[in-house]
Amino acid sequence: MPNLLEIDQIRKTFPGVVALESVSLAIAPGEIHTLLGENGAGKSTLMNVLTGLYRPERGEIRIAGEAVHLASPRDSLALGIGMVHQHFMLVPAHSVFENILLALEGVPNFFSRRRYKQKIRRIIDEFGLELELDAPVWKLSIGAQQWIELIKLLMRDCRLLILDEPTAVLTPQESDRLFAVLKKLREQGKSIIFISHKMREVMEISDRVTILKKGHSLVTLARGEFDEARLASLMIGEDQIPEWEKHPCVHQEVVLEIDRLAVRNERGLADLDDFSLQLRKGEILGIAGVAGNGQKALAEVLTGLKEAARGRILAGGEDLTHSDARSSYIAGIAHIPEDRKSIGIAPDMTVDENLIMKSFKSRDFRRWIFQDRGAIRRNAAAKIDQFAIKAGPAGNPVRYLSGGNIQKVIIARELSERPAVLVALYPTRGLDIGSAEYVHKVMVDGAGQGMSTILISEDLDELLKLSDRIAVMFRGRLVGCVDPRSTTREQIGLMMSGEAAA
């Protein structure tokens, strides 16, 4: 039986950058094929070529042995290639049924709602999904919204499904259900390209794994030929994974206290409601929860980016509740934001300039009323060396860096102020193993020096590995706090879904 998809010697460049060079791989019918690689390895570029968003300069793509030209996403969909992106393409105000209908082609002006609903309902029932077709999308969990994206592709009878980090926003129970669906699709002859950084998932779901490194397809391994250690070694190559060891560093001193805090969003609904928590000196306090349950509001109110409607934030005997980000204390709370590219950096400014964004008024970087370019360059050189930033040529805009190196720039800038508290919102989302371990080392080393961290993450393995305590959020409220040494992933998953309390 011929391969469903063959990618042969694909090359794609951007100005000054070779994103893909002679990349080749094959996807068999009815297989789950995982794509692994560091940030900047070329995974996203390759998927954009496959879905018709980018056109390669060289190489060939074959579907069932026949060469094809993918000039647009419509071409890819017509050939049965569909992708579930990390950021869902849904209209929140429309119903589940309306969103699925919008994705279909050839729907006549006058159509039978009942007939289309029956088709969709057959897919929902076949895979045991929990979806109400008339429910508005904005009311649904992130996991339910992901099912909609998958159903849209199945309604178009896609033969090759691409899933980009599909479990990043799911509870353990939702991830297990997704894997069950993927295995059933495989049994039906569908092929799946699975992109993930979570080694435990890769080991569970993959029939074969292809490693991309620096724009090249390094090797493809079949099940039985790889384990976690070998995959990590191939991905990292000669680069060193930072080593760290966690030691309990928690003191009894409370450095930050949140007392019955409430925060409302633009629609007047509660993002946080009656939320209380204490953070101790040297503690890494993990915050678990499915995305959209108030974590972002918590980070923003603690860093002065959002106003509290009710309650208090206390630090060092000072009431910070109505302080903004310019206040001296809140300016001293380090912040790793959720969206590193649009919020964490000024993308068109240089690495040197981004590294002093919180301290550009300091006398260290000024000569009278002018900036001291020499001092700014020396500061950047020291930080680039200290934080192992691959910054490229001097003067390049910071947006040219990989995701992992942009994250290092943000961390270097934030920690240069020697903060007492670090608020880290999804700090390793989308990062490769080496970059993620570097972020972990920064937090653990900081704890050893008395820095306290609020680590907000959707990766339970990360929280269990790093946290001294884990607080679980559901619909803006604190469900409870647990000890990671005596609590399972499944127990925390039930709390995240609101089905259990500590």
272 and 370 assigned to the same domain:
no
257 beta partners: 278, 314
pLDDT digits (tens, 9 = 90+) for 217-247: 989 999 999 888 888 888 776 666 667 777 7
276 and 315 assigned to the same domain:
yes
Backbone angles phi, psi at 13, to 5 degrees: -125, 155
pLDDT of residue 444 exceeding 60: yes
Write b or e for each residue in 417-430: b if 16 or more Cβ atoms lie within 10 A of its Cβ, otherwise e: eebbbbbbbbbbbb
In a domain, 88, yes or no: yes
CA-closest candidate to residue 294, choices 325, 270, 258: 270
Provide, rounded to the nearest whole percent, the portion of the chain with pLDDT above 90: 27
pLDDT of residue 452 exceeding 80: yes
pLDDT of 194 reads: 93
pLDDT of 183 reads: 93
396, 418, 440: which is the final residue of a domain? 418
CA distance 499 to 186: 31
pLDDT of residue 76 exceeding 70: yes
100 and 167 assigned to the same domain:
yes
In a domain, 193, yes or no: yes
pLDDT of residue 446 exceeding 90: no
pLDDT digits (tens, 9 = 90+) for 37-60: 876 788 888 999 999 999 999 999
pLDDT of residue 454 exceeding 90: yes
The arithmetic mean of pLDDT across residues 148-175, rounded, is 86
97 and 185 assigned to the same domain:
yes
Backbone angles phi, psi at 231, to 5 degrees: -60, -45
394 and 428 assigned to the same domain:
no
Q: What tokens does 439 get?
A: 């972020």
387 and 496 assigned to the same domain:
no
pLDDT of residue 276 exceeding 80: yes
For the CA atoms of 457, 458, 462, 467, the dihedral, rounded to the nearest 10 degrees, stands at 50
CA-closest candidate to residue 78, choices 41, 56, 107, 51: 51
Decide: 110 and 175 in contact? Cβ < 8 Å.
no
Q: For the residues of 170-181, what is the DSSP string, one character each?
A: --HHHHHHHHHH
Per the structure, the count of domains in the chain is 3
pLDDT of residue 267 exceeding 90: no
CA-closest candidate to residue 151, choices 112, 98, 223, 218: 98
pLDDT of 170 reads: 74
Confidence of residue 27 (pLDDT cuts 50, 70, 90): very high
In a domain, 338, yes or no: no
In a domain, 394, yes or no: yes
pLDDT of residue 128 exceeding 80: yes
In a domain, 339, yes or no: no
In a domain, 41, yes or no: yes
CA-closest candidate to residue 223, choices 209, 244, 213: 209
446 and 399 assigned to the same domain:
no
Domain membership of residue 500 as a residue range: 240-333+419-502
Q: 168 vs 256, which has greater pLDDT?
A: 256
394 and 257 assigned to the same domain:
no
Provide, rounded to the nearest whole percent, the portion of the chain with pLDDT above 70: 92
The arithmetic mean of pLDDT across residues 446-465, rounded, is 89
Q: For the residues of 17-28, what is the DSSP string, one character each?
A: EEEEEEEEEEE-
DSSP 307: -
In a domain, 97, yes or no: yes
Residue position matching structure tokens 């039985």: 224
Q: For the residues of 379-430, what is the DSSP string, one character each?
A: HHHHHHHHTT----STT-BGGGS-HHHHHHHHHHHHHTT--SEEEEESTTTT
Q: For the residues of 433-444, what is the DSSP string, one character each?
A: HHHHHHHHHHHH
371 and 290 assigned to the same domain:
no
pLDDT of 241 reads: 67
Backbone angles phi, psi at 188, to 5 degrees: -85, 0
- By the 10 Å C-beta count (0-12 exposed, 13-18 middle, 19+ buried), 309 is classed as middle
pLDDT of residue 365 exceeding 80: no
74 beta partners: none
CA distance 470 to 483: 6
Contacts of 282 (CB under 8 A, 6+ apart): 249, 250, 251, 447, 448, 450, 451, 452
The arithmetic mean of pLDDT across residues 138-142, rounded, is 80
Write down the H helix ranges in 8-112. 43-50, 73-78, 96-102
pLDDT of 239 reads: 62
pLDDT of 182 reads: 93
267 and 390 assigned to the same domain:
no
220, 236, 252: which is the final residue of a domain? 236
Q: For residue 37, what is the domain's CATH number? A: 3.40.50.300
CA-closest candidate to residue 401, choices 362, 441, 347, 464: 347
366, 386, 418: which is the final residue of a domain? 418
pLDDT digits (tens, 9 = 90+) for 178-224: 899 999 999 999 999 999 878 888 999 999 999 998 889 989 999 99
In a domain, 203, yes or no: yes
CA distance 71 to 60: 13
158 and 258 assigned to the same domain:
no
Q: 497 vs 474, which has greater pLDDT?
A: 474
255 and 328 assigned to the same domain:
yes
Write down the mean pLDDT value for the chain: 84
Write down the H helix ranges in 127-196. 142-155, 172-187
pLDDT of 210 reads: 94
SS3 content of the chain, % helix, strand, coil (to 5): 35, 25, 40
